[in-house]
Structure 1
Amino acid sequence: MGAITVITSGKGGVGKSTLTSGLGFALSKRGRRVLLIDGDAGLGCLDHMLGVEEQKVFDIADVVSGRVEPLKAVYSCPFSEGLFLMPAPATEDDLISPDIMKQLLSVLGRYYDHVLIDCPAGVGGGFQSAIAAAKRALVVSTPDPVCLNGAKKARTLLEEYGVRQQRLIINRFSSRNFRTQNVYPDLDSVIDAAGIRLIAVVPEDALLAAAAANSVPASPKSFGAMALGRLAARLEGEHVPLASLQKF
């Protein structure tokens, strides 16, 4: 059974989908079979980021309804062998229930080393569906009070639903902006505000964002992609230190 991880934030706009696609790519580069599940009903974007938008015919709702077998709604990423996507439902009316999500992933999880679920923003029905089958959560936040408050709320709800293995990703980090904003004295204060143990800091990176927007793999020169490579190693049990934040 593959590791099932939900990637959530509480608040939207933190770069969660870009991070999900980049992390999936990093794990596939390590020789793993990785399935991304887009949980953002009606607003999914991973099909575009992974370059399968034109291929897409079926989505997760078609599988749950019994219209197609699961394999027909799983699309192979053209630029990364071992990376696959099951797209989000086309409308919010087709939102998958938590119980059905558990049943589906109990089957799909057997065929992949990692399943990454891109959770929609907010803490409503989409959140409950996305976290239902997860064994661990990566909670994504930018280093500002509004997003950290969302991360804290997500942490509390994850605990209530039994997802206690949680780690914090500080995304879009810029040391210059961090100093200029002068809200938190240091990174430890950011971690304390979320109340979640840190696993990665991903820098603000135009190359990573451009890769997702253009449906191509991130440049090897991308600091964000490098950070996601280190995160992939940590998720697989390797001890990888944080890079110096002063250069970001």
Structure 2
Amino acid sequence: MGAITVITSGKGGVGKSTITSGLGLALSQRGKRVLLIDGDAGLGCLDHMLGIEENKVFDIADVVSGRVEPMKAIYPCPFAEGLFVIPAPTTEEDLISPDIMKQLVSVLSRYYDHVLIDCPAGIGGGFQSAVAAAPRALVVSTPDPVCLNGARKTRMLLEQGGVRQQRLIINRFSTRNFRTQNFYPDLDSVIDAAGIRLIAVVPEDPLLAAAAANSAPVSPKSIGAMALGRLAARLEGEHVPLASLQKF
């Protein structure tokens, strides 16, 4: 059975889906079979990011309803061998229940090395559905008080739901902006504000954002993609130190 990870955040707009797609790509480049599940009913975007939007016919709601077998709703990414995605339901009315999501992901994880579930923002039904199937969570936040407050609340909700293996991803980090904004004196204070152990710092990177927006593979020069590559290695059990923040 493959590793199942939900990628979540307390607040929208922190780059969670970009992290999900980029991490999936990084894992597939390590020779792993990776399935991304878009849990954002009505607002899913992984199909666009991975370049399957125009070919999409079915989504996860079609699988759950029994209209199609799972393989017909699983699409391969055209620019990354070993990377696959199940699109989100097109309407919120088709939101998958937590129990059904748990059963479905348990079955699908037998055929992949990693299953990454892109959780919708907020703490409603979509959140409950996405986290139900995952024993491990990556909580994404930018280094500002509003987002970190959301990350802290998400940590507590995950703990209440039994997801105790949690790690923090600080996204869109810029040393210059961090010093200018003066929200926190150092990175340790950011980690303390979230109350979650750090696993990765992903720098602000226009190349990573552009790749996701344009349904294209990210440039090898992308510092964001390099950071996600190091994160992929850590998820695979390798000891990889954090890069110097002065580079960001």
Say what the alpha-carbon RMSD is for the aligned residues.
Answer: 0.3
| Map of 2:156 onto structure 1 | 156
Unaligned regions of 5+ residues in structure 2, if any?
Answer: none
Name the % identity: 88
CA distance in 2 between counterparts of 1:74 and 1:10 reads 28
Alignment of 1:143-182 (within 5 A): 143-182=143-182
Tell me which residue corresponds to 1:55. 55
Map residues 6-155 of structure 1 onto 2, 5 A cutoff. 6-155=6-155
State the alpha-carbon separation in 1 of the partners of residues 11 and 85 from structure 2.
Answer: 23
Deviation per CA, 1:91-134: give whole Å up to 9, x if none: 00000000000110111010000000000000000000000010
Show CA shifts across 1:57-105 (max 9, x none): 0000000000000000000000000000000000000000000001101
| Distance in 2, Cα, partners of 1:130 & 1:113 | 18
Counterpart-to-counterpart distance in 2, 1:183 and 1:147: 12
TM-score by length of 2: 1.00
Q: Where does structure 1 lack aligned partners over 5 or more consecutive residues?
A: none
Displacement of 1:14 in angstroms is 0.2
Aligned structure 1 segments of 4 or more residues deviating by more than 4 angstroms = none
Asked if 1:203 is matched to 2:203, the reply is yes
TM-score by length of 1: 1.00
Deviation at 1:135, TM superposition (A): 1.2
Q: 1:183 & 1:205 partners in 2: Cα distance?
A: 21
Which whole-Å CA distance do the structure 1 matches of 2:12 and 2:239 have between them? 30
User: How many matched pairs?
Assistant: 248
**Aligned AA (1:247):** K
Deviations 1:215-244 (A, max 9, x none): 111101000000000000000100000001
Query: What's the offset of the Cα at 1:10?
Result: 1.0
